[in-house]
Amino acid sequence: MAADGVPAHMSEAAEALLSAMGGEQRSLASRPFDDEAARRWIEYRPRARPGACLADLDRTARKAAHRLLATALSPPAYAQAMAIVALEEVLDREEEWARGRHSNDYWVAVFGEPGPDTEWGWRFEGHHISVSMTVADGVVSPAPIFLGANPHRVGYAGRTVLRPLAAEEDLARALLEAMSAADRRAAVVADHAPGDIRTATSASAGDPIEPRGVAASRLGPGARAALDRLVTLYLDRMRPELAGREYARIASGEQWFAWEGPTRPGGRHYYRVQGEDLLIEYDNTSDDGNHAHTVLRRPHGEFGADVLAAHRASTHHH
User: pLDDT tens digits for 46-104?
Assistant: 998 999 999 999 999 999 999 999 999 999 999 999 999 999 999 999 999 999 999 99
pLDDT at 1: 58
pLDDT at 245: 84
pLDDT at 315: 64
In whole angstroms, what separates CA 34 from the centre of its chain? 23
CA distances from 204 to 83, 121, 144, 177 (A): 27, 17, 10, 32
Mean per-residue pLDDT for 233-260? 91
Taking a C-beta distance cutoff of 8 angstroms, is the pair 289, 267 a contact?
Answer: yes
pLDDT at 296: 98
Pick left, alpha or beta for residue 261 (phi over 0 → left; psi -120 to 50 → alpha; otherwise beta).
left
pLDDT at 311: 66
Strands 188-190 and 154-156: unpaired
Q: In the chain, what percentage of residues exceed pLDDT 70?
A: 97
Mean per-residue pLDDT for 184-197? 97
Top pLDDT among 245 and 45 is at 45
CA distances from 260 to 201, 211, 298 (A): 20, 10, 21
CB atoms within 10 A of CB 38: 16
Q: What are phi and psi of 226, to 5 degrees?
A: -65, -40
pLDDT at 192: 95
Tell whether the model's pLDDT for residue 2 goes beyond 90. Answer: no
CA pair distance 25, 151, nearest whole angstrom: 31
Q: What is the pTM of this model?
A: 0.96
- Please state the three-class secondary structure of 85-151 as a single string: HHHHHHHHHHCCCCCCCCCCCEEEEEECCCCCCCCEEEEEEECCEEEEEEEECCEEECCCEEEEECC
CA distances from 252 to 26, 142, 296 (A): 43, 19, 18
What single letter denotes the amino acid at residue 190? A
CA pair distance 113, 50, nearest whole angstrom: 17
What single letter denotes the amino acid at residue 236? D
Mean per-residue pLDDT for 208-235? 97
Residues in the chain: 318
What does the pLDDT look like over 70-85, one tens digit per residue? 999 999 999 999 999 9
Taking a C-beta distance cutoff of 8 angstroms, is the pair 75, 240 a contact?
Answer: no
In whole angstroms, what separates CA 81 from the centre of its chain? 10
- Residue 271 DSSP SS3: strand
Tell whether the model's pLDDT for residue 318 goes beyond 70. Answer: no
Alpha helices in 236-290 (DSSP H): 240-250
Mean per-residue pLDDT for 283-287? 88
Tell whether the model's pLDDT for residue 184 goes beyond 80. Answer: yes
